[in-house]
Every structure is written in structure tokens, then in C-alpha cells.
Amino acid sequence: MYKYREATENDFNEICSLIKSREEMFLVYPKGNYPLTVAQITELSKERMELTVAVDEFGIVGFANIYDYNENEYVFIGNVIIEKQYRGKGLGKEIVSYMLEKAFVKYGLCEVRISVFSENIPALLLYSNFGFTPYALEERKNHEGRRVALIHMKMENNRLKGILLASRKK
């Protein structure tokens, strides 16, 4: 079982260690420079809200936040990072559920958005399973200079109740 809490400056170094490659860095934080540094997380913390870590008995195993808060309308979930050996085991689903609850319940928003690169198939499938649907596509260049698509997805508040109930049954 994981616990979720607000990230503190003391966590920033451990958050940085979650990203193991230039490719992961691009998928999670394309504006950043690999390797992720405490200085970059510090700057990120000035622009984003609800910096959240997932913790187990071994330490920090996940991270996410929200950004582009538009009061009474929408917010984006961003920088979803899962420790490599924890991927595919449900932590991504849990941390996204936690962030959705923050957005919809704490902030009372109508919609949550998320952006994901076309080459990040596990994340695309995860968000699709939540009920996020694409609403825009943006051409970008990846960390190697190749063309990729940044897929912008959204989910409306009325889907939250069913999703949270379904996730708690599993």
C-alpha cells in the first residue's frame, strides 16, 4: 500500500532519481534537461500545485502534480513519474486517481486534462482506461529530434464517481 503526501524540498533529490534516462525525461518533463536536478524541481514547484509523492516503506516511488489551474474550469495533471520497478503494478493508476480526486473534489473543477506523447503507450492506455479522451494533437520533436505527437486528453467531472468506485473494488 502506498501513502500519498505533499512533496517537500527534502524530497526533491529522491524525486530526481526516479528518472533514469533521457527518454524518460522527455516523456515526463520535455522542457527539462536530463538529468533532472533539484534546481529544476525547485523551479517546477514555483509554477505547479499539489506536488505529490507516493511513498512506500522503501521511500519515494512516484510523483505527480497539477498545473495550468483555471478556476472553476480545468487543470492539468503533469509530471507523472513511477519508479521503474513499480511500473505495471497499479501505482500509476493509484496516483492518477489521487490527483483526479484532488482536482475534482478539492478544487471542484469541471474537467481534468492531461497531455501524453504518442510513444508513451503505457500512459496512453492508462489514461484511456480512466476515460480520458483526446481533444487535440500537437506536433513536437522528441529528445532525438524525431517527430512525435503530443496528445491532449480530457475527462469531465461526472466520470469521477464511477471511476473512483471501480478502482476501489479492484
Alpha-carbon distance of 2 to 95, in angstroms, equals 9
pLDDT at residue 18, as a whole number: 98
82 and 18 in contact (C-beta within 8 Å)? yes
Structural domains counted in the chain: 1
Domain with 89 in it: 3-169
Alpha-carbon distance of 132 to 154, in angstroms, equals 5
Strand residues in 45-158 grouped as ranges (E): 49-56, 59-70, 74-82, 111-117, 133-141, 147-156
Under DSSP, the state recorded for 144 is T
pTM over 0.75: yes
Alpha-carbon distance of 138 to 115, in angstroms, equals 10
CATH code where residue 38 lies: 3.40.630.30
pLDDT tens for 58-114 read 999 999 999 999 999 999 999 999 999 999 999 999 999 999 999 999 999 999 999
Share of the chain above pLDDT 70, in %: 93
pLDDT tens for 123-135 read 999 999 999 999 9
